[in-house]
Structure 1
Amino acid sequence: MRSIRVAAVGAVSLSLALAATACGGGSATGGGSNDSPRTLTYWASNQGASIEEDKKVLQPELAKFEKQTGIKVKLEVVPWSDLLNRILTATTSGQGPDVLNIGNTWSASLQATGALLPWDTANFGRIGGKDRFVDSALGSTGAAGKDPAAVPLYSMAYALYYNKQIFADAGIARPPATWSELVADGQKIEAKGKQALGAEGSNVSENIHHVFVFARQHGADFFTADGKPDFTSDGVVTAVQQYVGLMAKDKVIPAGNAEYAQNQSVSDFAKGRTAMLLWQSASANLKSQGMSEDAYGIAPVPVQSGTPGTGTQVNSMVAGINLAVFKNTHNLDGATRFVKFLTSDEEQKILNKAYSTIPPVRTAQGDAAFSTPANAVLKNTLATSAAALPQVADESQFETAVGTAVKELFADAAAGRPVTAASVKAKLAKAQQQMPAK
């Protein structure tokens, strides 16, 4: 998920949505608009630097779809801080859009509400077939063994962005490949009076994405094989302590970043205040903030030792945006045609270029725009060293509970309170207690 993207933390409980599996869904009315089959309502996620930027990208494409089909699409770009709550409200009220973007990590949770159209063989056939999409993107579309609840739209991966001039000024010849190298480089940069590594300690989504990767690198996961939460294992505790320790112990993340929640770390990097940034497909965002592509390099996210790969060498979540259709839409044919349009080769190239993301459609990836050095890093990460977040029904609660625990630990670090294995385990235990009983 995204991002210039911030996790929505719910005032609406997902457990209510899960209890309402029979009454979820959307409609062509979009909560009160004309339900003509010549009209669709579309909730798009905020992918660009602003909602207005997204409208500039999307409106010409929606006009193109209307010209081709006669179907008008009513667009609303929903901020990430609101999106999950809006979707959950729609699943319980039945008043939602026809088509919507969802963070791919939410796929299994929203699938469990019963509100989304299952993408079975017949439905995939209407948009050209399931085999058009790359396997890594399909792995984040719903629970294993079930028909996907959504279709991949944009694929992203985390990378390490680094300021070339700041590195040169600190005498650093190449980007760090391991966390120990990153800490050593960061301390050299701090000694030169620059901030080393940006982070967003109050961004629940970013917290989850990073500690998930650290956990995998320590051979741990947040759920057991049968889907039960397992937040306090030694590997998970070590992972969370190491990530927060970049601020608490190593002092390479500024203490003020504990309060960052939405794009501040990207802005700091774009303005040359920070030397390094761990972010998903950041090039378009950096460009919109005036940073030249020549000013920064991009490298794989560090690992504990060696080079990125599978297993404990995982260095990114499979990030991305999926397209979903509310099952009770009054315009299923139009909604399906719209999904087919957005996932066509032509539109995949246009939209993923605009957002500096990677097309999840195999044939669209061959475009030269996705073979730049920066995109080569992202594509290789997705193909060889990224893992999907747990595709379990309680994934959204997991993001909120553990992401908030990490946020609280960053606050402790910023205040000078010790972040120990015991304090980390206590926060994670509290987070696990907040998960639905099995």
Structure 2
Amino acid sequence: MRSIRAAAVGAVTLSLVLAATACGGGSSSGGGSNDSPKELTYWASNQGASIEVDKKVLQPELDKFEKQTGIKVKLEVVPWSDLLNRILTATTSGQGPDVLNIGNTWSASLQATGALLPWDAKNFEKIGGKDRFVDSALGSTGVEGQDPAAVPLYSMAYALYYNKQMFADAGITKPPATWDELVATGKKISKDGKWGLGAEGSNLSNNIHQVFVLAKQHGADFFTADGKPDFTSDGVVAAVKQYVDLMAKDKVIAPGNAEYAQNQSLSDFAKGKTAMVLWQTASATFKTMGMKDDEWGVAPAPVPSGTPGAGKATNSMVAGINMAVFKNSDNLDGATKFVKFMTSDAEQKLLNKAYGSIPPVKAAQSDPAFNTQATAVLRETLATSAAALPQVPDESQFETAVGTAVKELFADAANGREVTTESVKEKLAKAQQQMPNK
């Protein structure tokens, strides 16, 4: 999921906006050929304000790797809108990169294709051992009980960001901790062209992330214990309705947000049009968009009551980016060395500072940069109150089907059509019918 980041890489300070098939035979989708064991191809997800910004962040590190190992890495930064389809095409054609980034929520789906290198104990040992990584990050690397299909690279979590001046102008002295408080706060602010909360109603992944958390808070899951879709249970329906009702009933989200899909809610926040956003690791966004660090605050995302924690007090999904290797790469040794380099303590500190994310490598988290206003809440959330999205083979289809259902419900709300328990259940039933395992 795209979010926004900012940081320094080497001597160059860059403001970033962030925002889960080996090449032996070349790649019709842009991977290129890899005839030399001294060369790798790498598809990186678009973490920066632009593809060019990502190249400026990553290329010095790839040059460093080449100097250390003699292996040249050919980089392609792939936009999020294309990434999953590009990867799925590569898994069926056998043509793609040696190493790639994936959204961590896709791990189980891509694992099911059989195209990715399993990270068994032997492969983990080559990069320093599995115990170097944080447990919550490892929980989003594939189906439980199987060798992971990927290695954690960047970890992220959702939090509530708020505009201090807009709060002060409305007489609000502290950020809301519960949903009732958030709605009350939002109603105080939602007037005179300003709105309480921003959303991205057409962003399918963001929709999934929000309703997944709310379902947890309602004591529900989107899948049964044996991995079957269960989209129409009372808890899931209530969760989706609660989220859409922030626009439809509570009227703290602007109707125009139903069409947002490309960080527009963050732009509204930075411009003082919206007082709050629920977003993952967004601090660098605001700097990129001209906000000063003292103009915004960050707090844990809301829970029904009490404080965030496990179970019904879950307030974030475990967000992040994983690194995977296509197992038919003609340079598996070089690919493994590259993963080891990118997940080394030094590179983890550097890259996660650049993207405003949290290192999934334990030793790298000791850096003071990961205990600032921007990151302390995220670290605590990942450690105590975040849950991994369902690690099931049909997860990517779930994101598309249910994410689209929520998008359509936001469109109904924006156009004045009533959103009812029945209409929510109908949309979710339609989504469940689209799943391979109904």
TM range (shorter): over 0.9
Cα deviation, 1:50-74, whole Å, max 9, x if unaligned, reads: 2122111111111111111111111
Q: Indicate the residue corresponding to 1:248 in structure 2.
A: 248
3-state DSSP class of the match of 2:404?
helix
Match of 1:62 in 2: 62
Residue in 2 aligned with 1:18? none
Please give the alpha-carbon distance, in whole angstroms, between the structure 2 residues aligned to 1:222 and 1:192. 38
Q: Write the distance in 2 (CA, Å) between the matches of 1:364 and 1:89.
A: 34
Q: TM-score, normalised by structure 2?
A: 0.94
Kept in 1: contact 2:138–2:151 (CA 8 A): yes
AA of the residue aligned to 1:219: G
CA distance in 2, matches of 1:437, 1:278: 32
Residue 219 of structure 2: SS of its match in structure 1?
coil
CA distance in 2, matches of 1:361, 1:30: 33
Matched-pair contact (CA < 8 Å) for 1:231–1:432: yes
Matched positions, count: 421
1:63 and 1:70 mapped to 2: Cα distance?
10
CA contact (8 A) 1:30 1:98 kept: no
Distance in 1 (alpha carbons) for counterparts of 2:150 and 2:333: 16
Identity of aligned residues (%): 80
Residue 406 (structure 1) shift: 0.2
- RMSD, aligned α-carbons: 1.2
Deviation of 1:33 (Å): 2.3
1:100 partner amino acid: L
Query: Which ranges of structure 1 fall in alignment gaps of 5 or more residues?
Result: 8-24
Q: State the partner residue of 1:379.
A: 379
TM-superposed CA distance for 1:373, in Å, is: 2.3
Instruction: Give me the TM-score of the superposition, normalised by structure 1.
Output: 0.94
Give how far 1:28 is off: 4.8
Contact 1:201 1:407 in 2 (8 A): yes
Query: Which residue of 2 is the match for residue 19 of structure 1?
Result: none
- Aligned counterparts, 1:172-187, within 5 A: 172-187=172-187
**Match in the other structure for 2:282:** 282
CA distance in 1, matches of 2:269, 2:368: 27
Q: 1:297 to 1:28 in 2, by over 3 A?
A: farther
Offset of residue 30 of structure 1: 4.9
Pairing 1:229-378 to 2, within 5 Å after superposition: 229-378=229-378
- The question of whether the paired residues in 2 share the 8 Å contact of 1:45 and 1:78 is answered with yes
Q: Letter of the 1:27 partner, please give it.
A: C
- Counterpart Cα distance in 2 of 1:294 and 1:233: 43
Cα pair 2:103 2:320 within 8 Å, conserved:
yes
Offset at 1:268?
1.3
Partner of 2:41: 41
Instruction: Measure, in 2, the Cα distance between the counterparts of 1:398 and 1:105.
Output: 11
2:69, 2:270 → 1: CA distance?
41
Distance in 2 of aligned mates of 1:437 and 1:35:
40
2:23 aligns with 27
Distance 1:79 1:393 in 2: 23
Indicate conservation of the 8 Å contact 1:101/1:321, yes or no: yes
Give the structure 2 partner of residue 13 of structure 1: none
Q: Residue by residue, what CA displacement relative to the aligned partner does 1:138-175 show, whole Å, maximum 9, x if unpaired?
A: 00000011000000000000000000001100100000
Q: Is residue 28–residue 40 contact of structure 1 (8 Å, CA) maintained in 2? A: no
Report if the CA contact (8 A) 2:158-2:378 is conserved.
yes
Matched AA of 1:39: E
> 2:388 corresponds to which residue?
388
* 1:3-57 deviation line (CA, Å, top 9, x unaligned): 35778xxxxxxxxxxxxxxxxx323565142421111100000112221221111
Code of the residue aligned with 2:275 in structure 1: it is A
- Residues in 1 aligned to 2:37 and 2:372: alpha-carbon distance in whole angstroms: 41
CA distance in 1, matches of 2:57, 2:411: 37
Q: Which residue pairs with 1:195 in the alignment?
A: 195
Is the deviation greater in 147-156 or in 53-62? 53-62
Q: What are the residue-to-residue correspondences of 1:115-194 with 2, within 5 Å?
A: 115-191=115-191, 193-194=193-194
